[in-house]
Amino acid sequence: MAELDWHAERSDFHGLAHLDRSPSDDGIDQVAVRTYRQGRVRAQMLAYGVDALILSDPVNIRYATGTRNMQVFSMRNTPSRYLLMTQDRSILFEFTGCEHLARGFETVDEVRQARTASFVAAGPQIAEREEEWGLEMAALIRELTGERNATVGVERLNAGSKFALHEAGLTVVDAQQPVEMARAIKSPEEMKCVIASLRATEKGVALLREAIRPGLTEAELWSVLHQSIIAQNGDYVETRLLNAGARTNPWFQEASASTINANDLIALDTDVVGCHGYYADFSRTFHAGPDKPSAAQKELYRVAFEQVHHNMDILHPGMTFRDYADRAWNIPEKFYKNRYYLSAHGVGMTGEYPYLYHRRDFPDAGYDGVLEPGMTLCVESFIGADGGREGVKLEQQVLVTETGIELLSLFPFEDNLLN
């Protein structure tokens, strides 16, 4: 059976010619990236009065040190790998047998074997293991800080481990705020990592787009992006957000064995933890062919396109989150119920602070703050009528600069859906 490319005339790919370049370390000073990030964390520890941090989220460990090991495994097995950091010392407690992975990093002063305080590791002795872990960490924190009642920021630990630190006499606080505030501002060298991840992901989406055929399942098509990301030394895709036809509306239906039919819309959100551990997060919607898109499909696409570009155009440094919500694009009532839950959000190694909410959602969900140069944001749109058959997901990734914004995600939009 002939393999027909329904999409040869569909869009201008001239802007993606550079995507064949390998997303290597060339031109990126990784030592400068790591030391900048660790310095950001320590500055925020000072700002929030935190003497020590125990980081167990593998993304935050990577941010603070540059070290990587079994990231997804570590997210659900805590604390099996964790970082203790003060103003003067950085001690990585690495998973058993993996201590060699962190040696040689200028951001890690010492590597020790982790004591895994989880039920699967300790079984019925979990309470004793947690108590031992808490006493050990408390003694080390007092030694490093010289503070008897040191304030320690923790995250993503099982409850018993947190209680053990408290019972050992430490003041336990949440690490999220100082770490998120540290991650929010990127250095120019860090931005090279962001861009490398985006270019690699765009290459994967181009391959996915070329592979679209009626008769494929959503999962088969989604796998094209996964293969490309891994082949380019990216990490993983964090979600399964690719759907076709009626499964595009409402949003947040995971890729499945459902078959792509002729002339379906196909919507995706990349959510790629890619090269150098940085998030490449943009959304596109395609048409499966072989016929031209319908008037209804074009309307959805044009409305989503308008929302994204209006909201990009109003962004500028110094803008408050409240002002953004007030000036953001007004979603037509017929599309409001199925709106995307955010108008925009921060992005770095994953989705991060800040969340920017829609005007009508701000009183209940929103909080204020200020957009600053060095923040990277994703501007979101999902347009699908309540009860409508299909929807369109679009999203762009941008950098807030001293004078406005810089577009980071360069994958083209679909001419046949816009015109």
* pLDDT tens sequence across 359-382: 999 999 999 999 999 999 999 999
For residue 16, give every residue at least 6 positions away whose Cβ sits within 8 Å of its Cβ, in sequence order, or none: 202, 203, 206, 410, 411, 412
What pLDDT does residue 363 have?
96
DSSP state of 403: S
Residue 3: predicted pLDDT: 39
**Cβ-contact 204, 232 below 8 angstroms:** yes
What pTM, to 2 d.p., does this model score?
0.92
Q: Can you read off the two tokens belonging to residue 311?
A: 């909201």
- If DSSP codes are grouped into helix, strand and coil, which group holds residue 377? strand
Which segments of 48-93 does DSSP mark as H helices, in order? Answer: 58-65, 71-76
CA dihedral 218, 221, 223, 229 (to 10 degrees): -130
The pLDDT assigned to 25 comes to: 57
Dihedrals φ, ψ of 78, to 5°?
-120, 145
Distance, in Å, from the CA atom of 58 to the CA atom of 34, rounded to the nearest integer, reads 15
Task: Report, as ranges of residue numbers, the positions in the chain whose pLDDT lies below 70.
Answer: 1-26
344 closest CA partner among 276, 297, 399, 296: 399
Could you write out the DSSP letters of every residue in 88-114? S-EEEEEPTT-GGGGTT-TT-SEEEE-
Residue reference for tokens 């320690």: 152
Taking each continuous run of H as one helix and of E as one strand, the counts in the chain are 14, 17
Can you give the pLDDT at residue 7? Answer: 41
- Residues facing residue 94 across a β-bridge: 113
pLDDT of residue 71: 84
Helices 176-183/30-47 angle, 10° precision: 140
pLDDT at 289: 96
Query: Which uninterrupted H or E stretch holds 161?
Result: helix 159-167
Are the beta carbons of 274 and 230 closer than 8 angstroms? no
